[in-house]
Structure 1
Amino acid sequence: MKEVGFIGLGNMGQPMVLNLLKAGYKVKVYNRTASKASEVVAAGAEQVNHPCDVTTSDGIVVTMVANDQVLEELVYGQDGIGDRLGSDGIHLSMSTVSPETSRKLAHYHQEKGSFYIASPVFGRPEAAAAQKLWILSSGNHAAKERVKPILEALGQRVFDLGEEPGNANVIKLGGNFMIMAAMEAMAEAFNLAEKNGMDREAVAEVYSSTLFNCTVYNGYGSMIAKKMFEPAGFQLALGLKDCNLVLEEAKNTKTPMPLANLVHNRLLSSTAKGRGNLDWSALTKLANEEAGLE
């Protein structure tokens, strides 16, 4: 039986593990909040008590965690996976982290004789459940070939972005920035229509059926038109984290991103107003308030 370790059982991690089980993998799982493993354990996963216990020498470990700090602790920390992977082991990192973190972890794993593959994804929890994720992948070519069957069990397409480990993270952060910018644009356009006496949801349908017939406008357009920001598929606080990473990379590469600064202020203000646990599309509540529609 094929074996894989999996760390991180949040909104994305749980459906991903369930799909690996359906694909015939034997999956060992670890999560800091142990109770979150109950659903995947009931489906056949084996729960362990320490991160390092999900892997064996030469094995493959998938991580899907909230931020750079948590990811680094899982690799470097006590009971981490860094020493346990050993020669030819693979750390398949599917978290949204900075390109620099991926480069640093790739170097660390290389020194240990193992490999680091960055494979962040586009798609919300419902896409993860339906095996419809779009997966970005960068790192050692031979290691990418080894993990390809795992990625194909999780998504609808894998994009190979070369051997530079940070490439996938650059594309992921750029994509998330464009989603944020699109959400702000939708809010402003819908507000303009509503102020002229039109129904927001009807306007959203026009845009998503014509000029902007795509995943972001179809999905988030409906949420923004209805002002429906719960339950959170992706929390606003995590959106702020990602926008901080975008601006950090922009600074490091001397890339002006004025629109990213605007969206960052929206996310920061929303967090200050206690909206961090809402869906990140709730950043548009500020536009509604400024238009006198809240």
Structure 2
Amino acid sequence: MDVGVIGLGRMGRGMAQSLVRAGHRVRVWNRTPSAADGLDGVTLVPTAAEAFAGDAAITMLSDDAALRSVIVEGGLLDSGTRPGLHLSMSTISVALAQELAAIHGRAGVPYIAAPVFGRPDVAQNGALNIVVAGDAAVIEVARPLLDAMGAKTWPFGTEPHRANAVKLAGNFMLVAAIEAMGEAAAFAEGHGVAGADLLDLLTNTLFASPVYKGYGASIAAGRYEPPGFGLRLGLKDIGLALSASAEVGVPMPFAGVLRDNLLDAVSHGDGDKDLAALALVSARRSGR
């Protein structure tokens, strides 16, 4: 397929490379063109409009503001050349996802929400878990792209915003797991038990899952750089979850605790570290 990729951060680069390996013709655009350096097999185009064309366009941008700036304020849906479909793969608010679905509907451009679970190395290997929602027929058209980027695609209905709600729910649980490990490690340290030893035990027994094992190992080693998933992005996602929960009247009291602890981490200079650095908040508060 002829596909454009807009957004070449750590995730977007890996996704573009996976598409190239699968034999797709890939055009890329990024606000900073040097982000494409070292990407083999892609064609760097000078404008977002040239990437928002062809059989499909993929957006993988950092937040609501970036996506709105490029797609809505950039007037891409009003341009003469538009893609056969738009795969929106960024982690964005439920409200923006609903707005984008309506705007695309009026413009006649098929819109699919397809946020992902996985870190940059997973994107590089084409092994993401992709949460998808939208018209089933359009999803099938996009299937070769989804298969190239992901190990599995998880469908969640015909309303695109549902995929974004699933993504935010998942990220809430991920941040909650890191907070739990940070508090447990600090508690153990207070009783003379090495936090690393506790995490080694629990992440290989009761909590032997990728999130606990991966982030637990980072916490145990004090390894927070380079970031795979930045702490500041985690703060953004918890904020989005809280906003979306308020819209439907669903209390999320622990999400509020997570937001405040993430803010604490950012205020202490840890915003650009890996999300695992959230554990430093509990360690710092315990005097360790």
| Aligned pairs (5 A) from 1:204-223 | 204-223=199-218
Please report how far the alpha carbon of residue 193 of structure 1 lies from its aligned counterpart in structure 2 after TM superposition.
Answer: 1.9
Please report how far the alpha carbon of residue 153 of structure 1 lies from its aligned counterpart in structure 2 after TM superposition.
Answer: 0.6
- Aligned counterparts of 2:155 and 2:162: Cα–Cα separation in 1: 10
Aligned to 1:232: 227
- Aligned counterparts of 2:63 and 2:82: Cα–Cα separation in 1: 26
Query: Which of 244, 249, 254 pairs up with 1:254?
Result: 249
**Is the counterpart of residue 28 in structure 1 residue 23 in structure 2?**
no
**Is the counterpart of residue 89 in structure 1 residue 84 in structure 2?**
yes
Q: 1:85 to 1:135 in 2, by over 3 A?
A: farther
RMSD, aligned CA: 1.4
- Aligned counterparts of 1:74 and 1:145: Cα–Cα separation in 2: 26
Structure 1 unaligned blocks of 5 or more: none
Please report how far the alpha carbon of residue 86 of structure 1 lies from its aligned counterpart in structure 2 after TM superposition.
Answer: 6.1
Aligned to 2:258: 263
1:119-174 Cα distance to aligned partner (Å, 9 max, x none)? 00111111111222110000111111111110111111100100011100001000
The alignment of Structure 1 onto Structure 2 pairs a total of residues equal to: 288
Query: Which of 68, 76, 88 pairs up with 2:64?
Result: 68
Aligned to 2:46: 49
TM-score norm. by structure 1 comes to: 0.94
- Aligned counterparts of 2:208 and 2:174: Cα–Cα separation in 1: 14
Equivalent residues of 1:55, 1:81 under 8 A apart: yes
Equivalent residues of 2:52, 2:82 under 8 A apart: no
- Aligned counterparts of 1:261 and 1:203: Cα–Cα separation in 2: 27
Equivalent residues of 1:137, 1:159 under 8 A apart: yes
Aligned to 2:127: 132
Please report how far the alpha carbon of residue 201 of structure 1 lies from its aligned counterpart in structure 2 after TM superposition.
Answer: 2.3
- Aligned counterparts of 2:203 and 2:251: Cα–Cα separation in 1: 29
- Aligned counterparts of 1:261 and 1:209: Cα–Cα separation in 2: 29
- Aligned counterparts of 2:48 and 2:260: Cα–Cα separation in 1: 36
Per mean C-alpha deviation after superposition, the further-off stretch among 220-229 and 19-28 is 220-229
SS in 2 for 1:153: helix
SS in 2 for 1:62: strand
TM-score norm. by structure 2 comes to: 0.96
Please report how far the alpha carbon of residue 88 of structure 1 lies from its aligned counterpart in structure 2 after TM superposition.
Answer: 7.2
Letter in 1 for 2:212: Y
SS in 1 for 2:10: coil
Aligned to 2:5: 6
Letter in 2 for 1:252: E
| Aligned pairs (5 A) from 1:84-163 | 84=79, 89-163=84-158
Please report how far the alpha carbon of residue 248 of structure 1 lies from its aligned counterpart in structure 2 after TM superposition.
Answer: 0.3
